[in-house]
Amino acid sequence: MYAKPQRGVRRVERRETTAGSSPPDWENVRIFLEVVRCGSFRSAAERLGQSINGLRRRVDELECQLGTILLTRHVDGTRLTEEGTKVVTAAEHMEAAAFDLIRFKDSVGPALSGEVRIAVTEGLGTFWLAPRLVEFQRSYPNILIDLHCAMRSADILRLEADAAIQLTRPTAPDVKLVKLGCLHIMLFASQSYIDIYGKPGTYDELLKHRIVMQFADQTAAKDIYDSWFPGVPPKNFLVMRNNVSSANYWAIAKGAGIGLLPTYATAIGARVIPIDVELRRPFEIWLAYHPDAKRIPRVRYAIEWLVEAFNPEKFPWFRDEFIHPKYLPKLYRGQPLVNLFEGFLAGDDNQTP
């Protein structure tokens, strides 16, 4: 007679386990913690840049080493067993100890030095990263940051940069990707412009005003113009074109016309006023880096800093949902950012909105 297979119990839950005498592999423990924190193998695989099956093998190995089941798989993700909950506490102690060792190694080892090349779009590089990189360089004074601001995306696999930040998702299959957040753009004008021409409150009123646009990427700019102003000839409506974000900002701030800026403009001190016409556009912000980049300590630390520099929880203007600039001061809990940009963004002929 053949033994009837058991039903209703997953194979992984019937697995016989034998605890070994050797201590658990730290990499297995680290991956187990990441799966618990992400809630599923799929989310953890995306965050770590590894395969789902690879993570499952690591957790299976840890369960074999400990002789117990730590996670059960469900349609909506994973759930901790009672034993798994206890292991999480011990794993977090291991993690804290590992971080202590890393900090000790950094404190007694040779200072990190060398060059890190960061490619970024001109606007984010000029207005967001450049002033804030002081934070990174105070922590790592011997690392040279080569910040290349341009609208053309750098080729990471050809080592044009160690890390690249761009507003379109890279398509190269071997590049490591991290979605940093979302950039939201809307219309702004200066107080001096509004004093002369008034402030449009509707779309029809906007069509009677003067528009400034950045055409660094001709395709994207044309798409925005055609979708927002279909059938409206640029003549007598579009009064200035420019090819860099800094020129675009100054044209708007000095009263040349109404133009597009990121919603965080006022948070960093730009003296411009949002125009409440329902014309907005989100752009995802992507970080790309070479698969081997994190093996180099100075590059790894730079990448970790870049991810934190765009943290949507800390900087609400990078969240996926649109937040009007007038609500950002209440949501932002960090140090005033305007001090970083003082003397660069502020214009004397306008008043802060």
Q: 14-50 pLDDT, tens per residue?
A: 444 445 557 788 889 999 999 998 889 988 888 888 8
136 and 282 co-located in one domain: yes
136 and 266 co-located in one domain: yes
Copy the structure tokens of residue 121. Answer: 């779009």
Q: What is the pLDDT of residue 257?
A: 93
- Residue numbers of the domain that contains 48: 11-108
Measured at the alpha carbon of residue 248, what is the angle toward residues 247 and 254, in degrees to the nearest 5?
A: 85
Q: What DSSP element (H or E) covers 177?
A: strand 176-189
Residues 258-285 have a mean pLDDT of 89
Percent of the chain with pLDDT over 70: 82
Residues 240-245 have a mean pLDDT of 85
Domain edge (last residue) among 108, 130, 164: 108
190 and 229 co-located in one domain: yes
Poorest-confidence range of 18-22, 121-125, 174-178, 333-337? 18-22
Beta-sheet pairing, 163-166 with 273-274: unpaired
Domain edge (last residue) among 49, 81, 108: 108
Query: What pLDDT, in 10s, does the model give residues 65-105?
Result: 888 999 998 878 899 999 989 998 888 888 877 766 665 55
Say which CATH number the domain at 183 has. Answer: 3.40.190.290
The pLDDT of residue 158 is above 90 = no
The pLDDT of residue 3 is above 80 = no
Domain edge (last residue) among 108, 142, 159: 108
Residue type, 341: F
C-alpha torsion angle, residues 264, 265, 271, 274 (rounded to 10): -70
Q: Are 193 and 240 in contact (CB under 8 A)?
A: no
Query: What pLDDT, in 10s, does the model give residues 292-349?
Result: 888 888 888 999 999 999 999 889 999 999 999 999 888 887 766 655 455 455 444 4
The pLDDT of residue 263 is above 50 = yes
